[in-house]
Amino acid sequence: MEHLMSDLQKAMKAVRQVPGITAVAIVRRDGIVIDHLLPKPVDARLVAAMTAAIVGTSEMATEELYHGKFLQSIVESEKGKVISVGAGDEALVVALVEPATNLGLALMTIEKQAAKVGDILAAC
Amino acid sequence: MNSNLRPKLREIVSELTRLKDILSAAIVRRDGLVIAHDLPTESDARKIAAMSAAIVGTGEMAAEELEHGRFLRSIIESDVGKILSTGAGPEAILVTLVRRDGNLGLVLMALEKAARKAGSLVTQGGAGVEVS
């Protein structure tokens, strides 16, 4: 179990190394926090709940519009982006990103680590 | 009420779908009603309008709760493609369906320009009367 948590931490640290990514969390699709690397003032439970809401609505939209399986969602606002990427069947990786971040680099890293997180969680 | 509003909005939508990466586009009200669209059937347009209002509603809630400022845009990726919902002024949303392998940078540029245009038209013209 400890091994699992350190593997997850490693994946999140890899994501946070990207300049401009301020916070990372791994959450269950039902909105419960699995683990996080969030700066102090950010409430992990709030991030998890908002991510589950975003992904829930996105999944409904992709299904209703016959767009296949939901893969990821980016919500852009004035002060940054919330990127939610599926990590296996049960989890999501969510990252909070500053507005001027290199989105290509951020997405590449998050997608890679999300796939790893999915594998780690599937193996346990 | 500007009588040219409808063709003008329709023109913005058609201009977008001329890009090969954009499969279809619609301008909808934030409450989920259709204003103008370029979809094969009316029921497709109504569904997209409803879905993008739900997406934007959730996005706005998340932006507000996470103290991320005003909501600007949401991009959803799926197996088949992307659903992009951008605010077009305070009353409307511009929603587009984009190919899975589409050039997102190019699409976003066209989208922002179109959203600005649509936003100012809707604000001038009064979108409520234009609902079909």
For the stretch B8-62, pLDDT in tens is 999 999 999 999 999 999 999 999 999 999 988 888 899 999 999 999 999 999 9
Q: So what's the pLDDT on residue A3?
A: 85
Chain B positions touching A73 (Cβ under 8 A) are 74-77
pLDDT of residue B87: 93
Query: Could you report the predicted ipTM of this complex, rounded to two decimals?
Result: 0.84
pLDDT band at B123 (very low <50, low <70, confident <90, very high): confident
| pLDDT (tens digit per residue) in A58-90 | 999 999 999 999 999 999 999 999 999 999 999
Q: What is the pLDDT of residues A25-36, one digit of tens each?
A: 999 999 999 999
- Chain B residues within 8 A of A97 when measuring between CB atoms: none
The residue-averaged pLDDT of B108-126 equals 91
Distances (CA, A) of B45 to A53, A114, B11, B26, B39: 24, 33, 16, 7, 6
With cut-offs at 50, 70 and 90, classify the pLDDT of residue B126.
Answer: low
Q: Does B80 touch chain A (CB under 8 A)?
A: yes
The CA distance from B89 to B76, in Å, is 21
Closest by alpha carbon to B6, among B127, B87, B111? B127
Out of A53, A64, A65, whose CB is closest to B61? A53
Indicate the pLDDT class of residue B124, thresholds 50, 70 and 90. confident
Q: Is B77 on the interface with A (CB under 8 A)?
A: yes
Whether B68 has its CB under 8 Å from any CB of chain A: the answer is yes
Q: Among residues of chain A, what percentage have pLDDT more than 70? A: 99
Gyration radius from chain A CA atoms: 14
Nearest chain A residue to B74 by CA: give it: A75
Distance CA B33, CA B35 (A): 7
Task: Round to whole Å and give the CA distance between B70 and A112.
Answer: 29
Which H or E element spans position B124? Answer: helix B104-125
Query: Token match 């039902």: residue?
Result: A30
Question: What is the token pair recorded at A95?
Answer: 């990252």
CB contact under 8 A, A67 and B54: no
B130 pLDDT band, cuts 50/70/90, is: very low
Contact in structure between B9 and B121 (CB atoms under 8 Å): yes
Helix (DSSP H) and strand (DSSP E) numbers for chain B: 3, 5
- Across the interface, whether the CB atoms of B63 and A70 are under 8 A apart is answered no
